[in-house]
Amino acid sequence: MATQTTAATGPDRRTRPGGVRVALMFGLAAAALAGAAVLSLVMGSRITTPADVIGALTGTGEEFTTTVVESRYPRTVLGIMAGASLALAGTLMQGITRNPLADPGLLGVNAGAAAAVVTVTAVAGPTTVTGTVWAALPGAVLAGAAAYTVGTRGGDGGMVRLILAGAVISAVLTAYVQAIALSLPDSFDSYRYWVVGSLAGRSFDVFWAALPVVGAGLVLALCVMGGLNAMALGREAAVSLGVSTAWVQGGGLVAATLLAAGATAAVGPIAFVGLAVPHVVRAMVGVDFRLQVPFALLVGPTLLLLSDVVGRTLLRPTELMVGVVTAFVGAPVLLYAIRRMRSTA
- CATH number of residue 230's parent domain: 1.10.3470.10
Residue 219: per-residue pLDDT? 94
Q: Does the pLDDT of residue 4 top 60, yes or no?
A: no
Residue 293: per-residue pLDDT? 92
Q: Does the pLDDT of residue 85 top 80, yes or no?
A: yes
**Residue 267 class from Cβ within 10 Å (0-12 exposed, 13-18 middle, 19+ buried)?**
buried
DSSP 27: H
Cis peptide leading into residue 332 (ω within 30°): no
Closest CA to 140 of 177, 108, 172, 102: 108
Q: Does the pLDDT of residue 174 top 60, yes or no?
A: yes
Residue 155: per-residue pLDDT? 55
Domain annotation covers residue 2: no
Mean pLDDT of 121-136: 81
Most confident segment among 8-12, 13-17, 72-76: 72-76
Q: Does the pLDDT of residue 158 top 70, yes or no?
A: no
pLDDT single digits (tens) 101-125: 788 888 888 899 989 888 888 887 7
Closest CA to 251 of 125, 139, 157, 152: 152
Helix (H) or strand (E) holding 236: helix 235-240
Residue 345: per-residue pLDDT? 52
Domain annotation covers residue 233: yes
Q: Does the pLDDT of residue 10 top 50, yes or no?
A: no
Residue 30: per-residue pLDDT? 95
Domain annotation covers residue 3: no
Q: Does the pLDDT of residue 1 top 70, yes or no?
A: no
Q: Which whole-number Å values give the CA distances from 118 to 112, 141, 184, in the listed order?
A: 10, 16, 9
- Domain tally for the chain? 1
Q: Provide, rounded to the nearest whole percent, the portion of the chain with pLDDT above 70.
A: 90
Residue 301: per-residue pLDDT? 96
Mean pLDDT of 73-97: 92
Domain annotation covers residue 96: yes
What contacts 163, CB < 8 A, 6 or more positions away?
97, 99, 102, 106, 151
Q: 310-341: b or e for each residue (b if 16 or more CB lie within 10 Å)?
A: bbbbeeeeebbbbbbbbbebbeebbeebeebe
Residue 242: per-residue pLDDT? 77
Cis peptide leading into residue 317 (ω within 30°): yes
Look up the domain containing 140 and give its range.
12-344
Q: Which whole-number Å values give the CA distances from 289 to 2, 206, 223, 231, in the listed order?
A: 15, 30, 12, 11
pLDDT single digits (tens) 253-312: 899 999 999 999 899 888 889 988 998 898 888 888 889 999 999 999 999 999 999 988
Residue 172: per-residue pLDDT? 93
Alpha-carbon distance of 45 to 15, in angstroms, equals 45
Q: Provide, rounded to the nearest whole percent, the portion of the chain with pLDDT above 90.
A: 27
Domain annotation covers residue 18: yes
Domain annotation covers residue 68: yes
Residue 3: per-residue pLDDT? 41
Residue 79: per-residue pLDDT? 94
Q: For residue 54, count other CB atoms closer than 10 A to its CB.
A: 12
The pLDDT confidence band at residue 337, using thresholds 50, 70 and 90, is low
Domain annotation covers residue 303: yes
Domain annotation covers residue 227: yes
Higher pLDDT, 37 or 126: 37
Residue 286: per-residue pLDDT? 84
Instruction: State the DSSP string of 58-84.
Output: HT-S-HHHHHHHHHTHHHHHHHHHHHH
The model's pTM is 0.86
Degrees (nearest 5) of the Cα angle 265, 271, 274? 85
What contacts 329, CB < 8 A, 6 or more positions away?
272, 276, 303, 307
Higher pLDDT, 163 or 45: 163
Higher pLDDT, 135 or 185: 135
Residue 66: per-residue pLDDT? 78
Alpha-carbon distance of 44 to 318, in angstroms, equals 10
Higher pLDDT, 122 or 14: 122
